[in-house]
Amino acid sequence: MSPLATMDGLFYAYAGPRSTEREKFLRDRAANLAEQQQRQQAVKEGKLAEDPAEYIEWTVVDKSPTSRSVGEGRVQPHRRQASDSHGVMDPSRLRTSSSSGSSSANSEQANRALLSNPYELRHGRRYLREVPYPLPCDLPEIQRQNLRTLLGCTLFGKPVCAPNAAKNIPNRVLEIGCGSGYWSSMCHEYFCSLGYKNVAFTGLDLAPLAPDLNKQGLTWNFVQHDLRRTPLPFDDGEFDMVMLKDLSLVFELGVPFEKFLDESMRVLGENGTLELWESDHVLRSLLPHPPASKLAVDREIATRTATFPIGPGTPFAPAQNKYIQRANAWIQEALDRRKLPPLPCSRIAQVLYQEPDLLGDVGIRRIAIPLGEQRWEREPPKNDSSTAHQKEKARSGDLTPEQAAIRQTALMTVLQKIESLEPLLKEVSGKNSEEWSHWWASMMSDLLDSSRGSLTGECLEAGAWWATKLAGGD
């Protein structure tokens, strides 16, 4: 079956009129905001004492089908004390949470305002307000991210790559930066196929994009939270698995991401699984006849999907297509200005290996997905180390419909990302709207016309990384 054929129902998160539950959701939220404003006013007038260590998160309280109650779907203020609700916190963590999470009444008020109204309209698209995240949060971008999730599940063979999670099925899973919750939905289906139907999923994000996945059979809870604020609103060791997917444009290089990773490990229990999925934002060209993987599972997936495992000996060169070269240069400069990594896949492993006392069983799976059919794939391999796909392709001469769909999907998501980054790329390129439109139309004509043969090895590089939290590694 073509990956695109499995997209039935993908748009469940976005379309349809407001339901009765949605109207009730909005009324409850307005009532809770009014309560918060009254509380703030009482604090200002001295009628109520202010606790500087308190912070408030909005949690969508969803009940499972077996335990529904009158309060189903209500949005309630979820108050936790930084000093007592996160397990035993050392003094340095307490100082960090006090300074970054609740440094002042003004910052707390600004955070509440951001949570209640996280969006603004810029450049004709919806973005997160007061947040440096460069991508929009509208329907086209959400669909692109869901396509990437579906592509990853297809290329990796399943939504969870970590062997530990397959052997010891987690009871509680946290997806950080969950977006529409599509990965959690795919993961639920995977665990159900293994006979585990009661895994509880929690989604964490600033943008409340996820629908009520309880209606699809998941045990689901969504927590709205600004990922830049620590500590995260969970107890120490609360989850058996933590998933970080496509967060390279959320945190700056270095200390910000390392602090966030530390916080992610704090809420992960002993022997729990940490998994990360990422893809590079700047493209390279895969040189002819890369060596095959030594792992049988990687070779099997590569043959089935017509992709190429990336290892230390995989040969790459700079992109050759002139439009991708231009886009690469602009993306590189735009991300450098914001201290964001253009090639995150090359950095994640070294970050995980820097925590030998906390993380063990570190694993990696990286894949190159060509954006089109390559001439050299039809050539007989020059050595025995070439992949089985290359040998089969040389005999058959054609991609299967499923393999062609995978490459077309990868190309589509690359073009959609360039489109989503348009304001940044126009800024660094110096192009006005008319010049950009002309360049965009020329690029689309060049890349989407396979008869031109303009793609000479350019590929999307994606990867999954995982590790197990060691006992006593807090």
pTM: 0.76
- Residue 214, amino acid: N
Q: Could you give the percent of the chain with pLDDT greater than 70?
A: 74
Helices and strands (H and E) in the chain: how many: 14, 14
Catalogue all structural domains in the chain, each as residue range(s) with its CATH number: 18-279 (3.40.50.150), 284-294+306-342+367-463 (no CATH)
Contact by Cβ (8 Å): 75, 28: yes
Token code pair at residue 400: 């299967």
Q: What angle do CA 427, 428, 430 make, to 5 degrees?
A: 65
Print burial letters for 389-424: b (CB count within 10 Å at least 16), e (below 16): bbeebbeeeebeebbbbbbbbbbbbbbbbbbbbbbb
In the three-class reduction of DSSP (H, G, I as helix; E, B as strand; rest coil), residue 222 is classed as strand
What is the residue-wise DSSP string for 226-285?
A: -TTSSS-SS-TT-EEEEEEES-TTTS-TTHHHHHHHHHHHHTEEEEEEEEEEEE-SS-EE
Token code pair at residue 460: 């999307």
pLDDT confidence band for 396 (50 / 70 / 90): very low
pLDDT digits 0-9 by tens, 219-267: 999 999 999 999 999 999 999 999 999 999 999 878 888 899 999 999 9
Contact by Cβ (8 Å): 13, 181: yes
Contact by Cβ (8 Å): 213, 185: yes
- Furthest-apart CA atoms within the chain: distance in Å: 82
Look over the chain and give the mean of its residue pLDDT values, rounded to a whole number: 82
Out of 101-105, 169-173, 440-444, 446-450, pick the least confident: 101-105
